[in-house]
Amino acid sequence: MLLPRACGGGVPPKAGRRGRLRRSTMPDMSPDPKAYRQHAGSSPHTLIRAKQLRRELTPPERLLWSGLRAKRLGGLKFRKQHGLGAYVADFYCHAARLVVEIDGDHHRGDGRHDRRRDDWMRAQGIRVVRVEAREVMRNLEGVRRAIKRVGLERVAAREAERGKRAQA
């Protein structure tokens, strides 16, 4: 298996328009942990899992993503299935330090994992908003309004905090 070009590997050459061989710019997306750079404190396994989850969105996640992507929600940029530490957040907005989690059937357990994850994110200064999957399916606009309100409040608070630090 070949590693992505950024990791010192490459993919087999392809024929270009004029018949000459050229190297593809698309990396081989092998699930090899060594092929991924560490970022945001996430382990390579977390990044691989996040990538898998991005391809396998649930219907409520897909519906909400259609309203969050491309800065469609008040100019807030969200990432889907984003690795944070040892966890993967359904949706994450860095500017607001906001995580949106859709609670569906896979969250029906005793909740210890969710509490542990929420505690870790809170310790990192990240606010977690939990939304029931049924609510997303029934009232998408209401859910979007609530997320937008919280996100814009958090952005304004962070900017005010930065302004205070700049003056000091």
SS3 category, 49: helix
Enclosing H/E stretch for 142: helix 140-167
Split at pLDDT 50, 70, 90, the class of 33 is: very low
What single string gives the DSSP state of each residue in 109-141?
A: S-SHHHHHHHHHHHHTT-EEEEEEHHHHHH-HH
Residue 2 has pLDDT above 70, yes or no: no
pLDDT of 134-148, one tens digit each? 999 999 999 999 999
Split at pLDDT 50, 70, 90, the class of 89 is: very high
87 close to 59: Cβ distance less than 8 angstroms: no
Residue 55: C-alpha distances to residues 37, 45, 46, 61, 106 (Å) = 20, 16, 15, 11, 17
Per-residue pLDDT, averaged over 53-67, amounts to 90
Question: 0.85 exceeded by the pTM?
Answer: no
| Average confidence score pLDDT of the chain | 79
pLDDT of 142-167, one tens digit each? 999 999 999 999 999 999 988 888 88
Per-residue pLDDT, averaged over 4-26, amounts to 46
